[in-house]
Chains A and B, each alone.
Chain A
Amino acid sequence: MNLTLHVWRQKGPQDKGKLVTYPAKDVSSDMSFLEMLDEVNDKLIKEGKDPIAFDHDCREGICGMCSSVVNGRPHGHQEKTTVCQLHMRQFEDGADIVVEPWLAKAFPIQKDLIVDRSALDVVMQAGGYTSCHTGGVPDANSQLIPKEIADFSMDAAECIGCGACIAACPNSSAMLFTSAKVSQFAVLPQGKAEAKVRVLEMTKAMLDEGFGNCTNHYECQEACPKGINVKFIATLNREYLKSFI
């Protein structure tokens, strides 16, 4: 297939960026989206031009490194799919494809499609853990956790921290991301002791880092490649209220 790409090019954090058009010829439908970009880049390099910079690592949809907005949607239009797992058979021959970086105040663009997501790490540092020391913990089976609870916790824990939820949100809110971590711990006996401090500290960090508020658009859930459910936002809100009781 033959495609026309319109890719966001920006030299550095301080520079102005713009969309630049590139043809992508003889693309195989078995290629992943990033493999298609690899081929375009190999051509650019041979022409002595600067290749398109984009983040990626595992290419298996789990590390959360890849982060492009494809045709206006974070990770592209395929449901529950990261852009590294998006395959070209999802596009029509002759299509025009617009590729942009995550756009959010808290994610400054570094170069082309690469943004700085360290704000997410700061939110995690604020309370995304149980304060256990290495060693000196009880036997793993000493506290029983029924399957439904373990499953609920795991549903939340599946978040890969890519930031698509924030890129999709009109307010650039990090509510889905934060709520997933709060919820994972909230239901586990191991997480209960610090539940109050955790929810307060993490939501505070979220706002301090420049993420917006949640006004229930639920675009985040649509964009999430792991299908993290907005019900976790309700859990966070409940935990937040509970922390004042």
Chain B
Amino acid sequence: MILDGKAPTGPIETSWDRSCFDKKLVNPSNKRKFKILVVGTGLAGGAGAASLAELGYNVESFCYQDSPRRAHSIGAQGGINAAKNYPSDGDSIYRLFYDTVKGGDFRSREADVWRLAQVSNNIIDQCVAQGVPFARDYAGYLDNRSFGGAQVSRTFYARGQTGQQLLLGAYSALSRQIKAKKVTMHPRTEMLDLVVVDGVAKGITVRNLMTGQIESHWGDAVVLATGGYVNVFYLSTMAMGSSVTAAWKSVKKGAYMANPCYTQIHPTCIPVHGEHQSKLTLMSESLRNDGRIWVPKKAEDCDKHPSEIPEEDRDYYLERKYPSFGNLAPRDISSRSAKEACDDGRGVGPGQRGVYLDFEDSISRLGEDTIRERYGNLFEMYEKITDENGYVRPMRIYPAPHYGMGGLWVDYQCQSNIPGLFVLGEANFSVHGANRLGASALMQGLADGYFVIPYTIAPYLASITPGTVKDDHAEFKKSVEDIEAQTNKLLSINGKKTVSELHRELGQVMFENVGMGRSDESLNLALKRIPEIRDEFWNNVKVTGESKDLNQQLENAGRLADYLEFAEMLTTDALHREESCGGHFRIEHQTDDGEAVRDDENFCYSAAWEFKGAGVKPELHKEPLKFENIKLAVRSYK
């Protein structure tokens, strides 16, 4: 089937304004008749729930943590982009639009990206009004820094804790609406199923994580803002509880999953140091503003103390290969270059899977105090984990799974192919194409939540009668029974392996075969291994405890069960996409000097997959991509 994203046509500059004007509205006094379920309280869900409630809708909000303030967005460090052009360095909405489309390697929908760039400026205004303490200069103006993939300074930040501050801003807006009784908050509640009645999303089934009760919630619309899926790699920079469950359960109810193979492996993470490791820690990419990345030129130097390696024996490979962007080359390119250097036997640290990130030059240029002021908390974190001091010895970094550009397929209104199901933030696939630029996820989350969904949900609500289906409908009952059956099954297997052992096995298969370099051979190997691990899981996992109780093993088991199905779809997508673009690098498709080769003739589309059963090949639906404003071109950062 050919999918239509229903993006507005005509001049891109006015596309969003025209589309807002054309939309049907819900009369103010009718808004309170609607109930909207918003799953997720990160930037997208928190901002969305608060803004919808301010408009007068009744909102029920859900998260699995004990407080909405702890959503994974809290961990974002570096910053958020906007086209304010405060430094007057040539930025504009058009340039942010251009950079994002190009950065995404021409695999996103132009109109969606334009809208994002346009509302980016409103986000900064909104956050400042909320009291978000962004970095300022002595005169009191907002400060900016640079991020990868851009030649202007457009990133706003709050020390190394930008995500925290933005999320606390959204959380404060949400708290105000909870107080006003326009939002009912359900923390420690995990969505385990989407309820679809006659093809339309009408509610969700959840587990109360404190009591284990399975409960139903009805709504006139369901908004998912449940974050990303890269914990499919087990070790990643995601929070431990991040899962694909909400999205995957929706896929099993008919929603399409788009471009799952576009995964971002972030270049600046602390390398893996042991078997027992449970997660990987990101060091914000902003470090690349002042740090220089290098490896020894000669493999025999790798074990030496870095200070013993003279300047002429160091290979500053990003500066060498990409002179105009240098250490600020986009993430996919930087990560792949690090992998190549290590594959070439020139990696440093344990297992030689690491490259240096060196601050010596900037410390001598700017002084240690300035560097501490800019990145102090990152240096502290590095030292806590590695026991090494980054001010005196170059840090060691290595790429780690970080972000999923893919997600549930949505049209221009952020509505999935299931009417009534809307998807925001990292959980959808919309704006980043095959690669996300730094500081653009926070921008997308808040854009979707504050400035997009309040408008785009209205036409749908205006077209339905509120409250027609409630949780006494048979579909709700059936969904509860299905979830209870799955729970009981998990508890009854009583095998020999723990959930984390099996998750680690899946992660290894995925990182090695579906990671930074993918080939026909590696992908087919993964497609063989994933069902084997899934079978082992359903026959040999051991989950202790009871269903009607706080049971963290059961939570983890349910999440892994979904990853074990989703992994296969991700890999199938990667195998079908016979080109290299952004975060998806097929080693069969590269130039002689190792640059990605995209195939616009055959693959200029978004791939939306329809679930056909576990272990059955999903069906492909294509949404062709048209580039009317930015000419399709080879993405070059040389």
Chain B residues 30 to 85 lying within 8 A of chain A, measured CB to CB, are 47, 50-51, 54, 65-70, 72, 74-75, 84
CB distance from A16 to the nearest CB of B (A): 17
Given contacts A60-B75, A129-B130, A154-B133, A134 and B141 within 8 Å (CB-CB): no
CB neighbours (8 Å) of B500 from chain A are 38, 42
Give the distance in Å from the alpha carbon of A121 to the alpha carbon of B172 in the complex: 10
The count of chain A contact residues (Cβ–Cβ below 8 Å) is: 78
Q: Is B298 an interface residue (CB 8 A)?
A: no
**A117 and B67 contacting across the interface, CB-CB below 8 Å:** yes
Is residue A20 within 8 Å, beta carbon to beta carbon, of the partner chain? no
A-binding segment of B121-129, B329-337, B460-468: B121-129
Q: Kindly state the separation between the CA atoms of A61 and B500 in the bound complex, as whole angstroms.
A: 22
Please tell me if B604 contacts chain A, counting CB pairs below 8 Å. no
**Stretch of A45-53, A211-219, A228-236, A237-245 at the chain-chain interface:** A45-53
Instruction: Say yes or no for A161: interface residue by CB 8 A criterion.
Output: yes
Q: Find out whether the CB atom of B138 lies under 8 angstroms from the CB atom of A63.
A: no
Contact between A154 and B159 (Cβ–Cβ < 8 Å)? yes
| Interface contact A51-B161, CB-CB below 8 Å | no
Chain B 236-255 per-residue mask, 1 if CB under 8 angstroms from chain A, else 0: 00011100000000000000
Interface positions of A from 101 to 147, Cβ below 8 Å from B: 110-111, 114, 116-118, 120-121, 124-126, 128-135, 137-141, 143-147
Per the bound structure, the CA–CA distance linking A171 and B509 in Å amounts to 51
Q: Does A93 contact B (CB under 8 A)?
A: no
- State whether the Cβ of B592 lies closer than 8 Å to any Cβ in chain A: no
> B138 — which chain A residues lie within 8 A by C-beta?
146-147
Known: A161-B67, A190-B131. A134 touches B50 (CB 8 A): yes
Contact of A46 with B542 at beta-carbon distance under 8 Å, contacts A63-B70, A89-B387, A141-B142 already known? yes
A18 to B135, CA, bound (A): 47
Closest Cβ of chain A: how far from B155's Cβ, in Å?
14
| Shortest distance between the CB of B493 and any CB in chain A (Å) | 12
Assess whether A153 is interfacial by the CB under 8 Å rule.
yes
Q: How far does the Cβ of A70 sit from chain B's closest Cβ, in whole Å?
A: 15
A30 and B273 in contact, given A124-B175, A135-B451, A141-B142 (Cβ under 8 angstroms): yes
| B residues less than 8 Å from A161 (CB atoms) | 67, 69-70
State A39–B132 Cα separation when bound (angstroms): 39
Assess whether A196 is interfacial by the CB under 8 Å rule. Answer: no
Whether, in the assembled complex, A55 has its beta carbon less than 8 Å from a beta carbon of chain B, the answer is yes
Given contacts A42-B501, A60-B75, contact A118 B66 (CB under 8 A): yes
Q: What is the chain A residue whose CB lies nearest that of B277?
A: A35
When the two chains form their complex, are residues A133 and B131 in contact, meaning their CB atoms are under 8 A apart? no
B544 touches A51 (CB 8 A): yes
What separation, in Å, do the CA atoms of A60 and B160 have in the docked complex? 12
In the assembled complex, the CB of B89 is this many whole angstroms from the nearest CB of chain A, namely 15
| Pair B131/A153 contact, Cβ less than 8 Å | yes
B164 sits at the interface (CB 8 A):
yes
Binary per-residue interface labels of chain B (538-551) against chain A in the complex, 1 for a CB within 8 Å, 0 otherwise: 00001111000110
Question: Are A124 and B172 in contact (CB-based, < 8 A)?
Answer: yes
Docked CA distance A142–B292 (Å)? 36
C-alpha gap A32/B228 in the complex (Å): 24
List, in ascending order, chain B residues with CB within 8 A of A85's CB: 381, 384-385
Query: Would you call A39 and B172 a contact (CB within 8 A)?
Result: no
Interface string of A76-114 (1 = CB under 8 A from B): 001011000101010000000000000000000011001
Given A57-B65, A137-B125, A147 and B140 touching (CB < 8 A)? yes
Contact with A along B376-406 (1 / 0, CB 8 A): 0000110011010000000000000000000
How far is it, in angstroms, between the C-alpha of A191 and the C-alpha of B129 when the chains are bound? 9
Measured in the bound complex, the distance between the Cα atoms of B59 and A239 in whole Å is 34
Residue ID in chain B nearest A34 by CB atoms: B278
Within 8 A of A (CB), among B127-169: 127-142, 158-159, 161, 164-165, 168
Residues of B within 8 A of A146 (CB): 136, 138-140
Contact of A185 among B131, B134, B279 (CB under 8 A): B131
Is A3 among interface residues, defined by CB-CB distance under 8 A? no
* B128 and A140 contacting across the interface, CB-CB below 8 Å: yes
Instruction: Point out the residues of chain B lying under 8 angstroms from A5, CB to CB.
Output: none
Q: Which residues of A contact B210 (CB under 8 A)?
A: 110
Q: Which residue of B lies closest to A31 (CB)?
A: B276
Contact A118 B175 (CB under 8 A): no
Contacts of B124 in A (CB 8 A): 140
In the assembly, what is the distance between CA of A150 and CA of B141, in Å? Answer: 10
CB distance from A141 to the nearest CB of B (A): 6
Instruction: Indicate if the CB atoms of B278 and A38 lie closer than 8 Å.
Output: yes
Cβ of B172 and Cβ of A128 under 8 Å apart? yes
Cα of A191 to Cα of B65 in the assembled complex, Å: 28
In the complex the two chains form, what is the Cα distance from A139 to B328 in whole Å? Answer: 29
A174 within 8 A of B: no
The answer to whether B66 and A141 touch across the interface, beta carbons within 8 angstroms, is no
Asked if A220 is at the interface (CB within 8 A of a chain B CB), the reply is no
Within 8 A of A (CB), among B247-283: 273-274, 276-279, 281-282
* Chain B residues within an 8 Å CB radius of A138: 125, 129
Q: Which residues of B contact A (CB under 8 A)?
A: 47, 50-51, 54, 65-70, 72, 74-75, 84, 86, 122, 124-142, 158-159, 161, 164-165, 168, 171-173, 175-176, 178-179, 185, 187, 210, 239-241, 273-274, 276-279, 281-282, 380-381, 384-385, 387, 450-451, 454, 496, 498, 500-501, 542-545, 549-550, 552-553
Given A12-B550, A46-B496, A131-B176, 11 more A-B residue pairs with CB atoms under 8 Å apart are A48-B542, A57-B65, A64-B74, A78-B384, A117-B67, A124-B172, A134-B50, A144-B141, A157-B165, A161-B69, A161-B70
| Those 9 A-B pairs whose CB atoms lie nearest each other, nearest first | A144-B140, A129-B172, A137-B129, A153-B133, A154-B133, A150-B136, A140-B128, A134-B51, A132-B129
10 A-B contacts (beta carbon < 8 Å):
A32-B278, A46-B542, A53-B552, A59-B278, A65-B66, A111-B549, A118-B187, A124-B69, A124-B172, A134-B450
